[in-house]
Amino acid sequence: MPRCRGPDRVLRIDANVAPPAAGSASHGSSRTASRPPGRLGTEEYHASVLPPAQEAAVLYSANLVAPAEAVLRSLTRDPASRSNKQPWLMLFDLFEITQNRAEYESLSMLYTVKFEQSPPAWAGGEEAASDPRRAQSRERKDFFALKPNALGELAPEIEKFVAFAVSMGTVRLDLGKVASITASEAALLTAALKRLRTAGLPMWFNNTESLERVLRAAFNERASEATRSFWLLLFELYVLQDKMDPFEELGLEYAVAYEMSPPIWEVYVNSVAAAASRVPAAPAAEEPEAGFVLKGVISTASQNQFADLASHAAAGPELVVDMGKVLRIDFAAAGQFYEVVKAIQLAGKRVILSNLSELNAALLEAFGFNRHAILIRRKAN
């Protein structure tokens, strides 16, 4: 009997949801005489353990989001499956459905570095936003807001920023809360940014315009050696943001103010952003036109949708179902959905379940839907 072992409970897929493929050997004996009242489906079953990705899909189907995430994260870290994109794509689905944009973006950077390919674009729409299971949004894990400490000092925070960036391997620095900066602090921040740039650490920036105004206010007075560090910090920020035109304009101002040559332009390559830009967009794959749309959480209360689906199937030899708006197929309803699809296919219809998320596709494969329907995943990008 296929099992899904989660941290909190054991889930089983048995006779009422996943009959074996035609011609496969049964691993259990017939139990027709002792069939429990109300039990549905064939009496044959498999005793195999689910693959880990399908295990995670079943956990999510049972609304065990945290255990499902734990299984998928362990797969992304497993060297034996380092070329397997499926758990990564399932995690993207999970974070999008739970509206966890911060984790989605963090995973996107790791995905780009690992596969040298653009990650799936965030597409959390109204259906996901209104889902009651969504998590509260959190700041991304590599986000650092630079601001003075309780004593009004910025230097200790700059040191913390460098240590944080090195430990994370990437960093997004928010400069919006730097309302003032001393010459020594500007020199310290410039040195810190140069160190990280030289090390090739991927960096992004928020609210640089705010700090630029502070810096320009500081060196708009008569140029002196005391104010030179403000200029150098602004030069460094322009380099890190690939702003060559403002850099050259500032260079002219600097040359006039100090009667000396300005710093030379240096190229900074953000390896994560560069890897994403190198990957060409995948050609669009043709998908069958959907004739019926399922959406929301498919549960035991979805009898009306099941009835409409069966009714729609009677209209022609082929039934194409758009699954793109299905947030979750509840574990308790998966068997009922399976029986509906099975009945339509056995009536001589061709059933296509299209636009499936990776989470839902893995679940349907675990339940054996591919015995009676063609499963088409949605485009990853």
The pLDDT tens digits for 101-141 are 888 888 888 887 787 777 888 776 444 444 433 333 333 56
- Whether the pLDDT of residue 27 is over 50: the answer is no
The pLDDT tens digits for 257-293 are 889 999 999 999 888 777 766 655 444 445 455 578 8
| Cα 122 to Cα 137: distance, rounded to the nearest angstrom | 14
Q: Which two tokens stand for residue 358?
A: 């990776």
Q: Which of 108, 113, 74 is nearest to 89 (CA)?
A: 108
Q: Which CATH superfamily is domain 292-377 in?
A: STAS domain (3.30.750.24)
**Dihedrals φ, ψ of 311, to 5°?**
-65, -45
Residue ranges, CATH 3.30.750.24, the chain? 292-377
- Whether the pLDDT of residue 16 is over 70: the answer is no
Q: Mean pLDDT across the stretch 219-232?
A: 84
- Determine contact, residues 28/44, Cβ cutoff 8 Å: yes
At residue 312, the pLDDT reads: 86
pTM for the whole thing? 0.51
Task: Please state whether beta strands 10-12 and 3-5 pair in parallel, antiparallel, or not at all (unpaired).
Answer: antiparallel
Q: Long-range contacts for 4-10 (Cβ within 8 Å, ≥24 apart)?
A: 4/50, 4/54, 4/55, 4/58, 4/59, 4/366, 5/49, 5/55, 6/55, 6/59, 6/62, 6/64, 6/67, 6/68, 6/71, 7/67, 7/70, 8/64, 8/67, 9/62, 9/64
| 126-159 residues labelled b (16+ CB within 10 A) or e (exposed) | eebeebeebeeeeebebbbbbebeeeeebeebbe
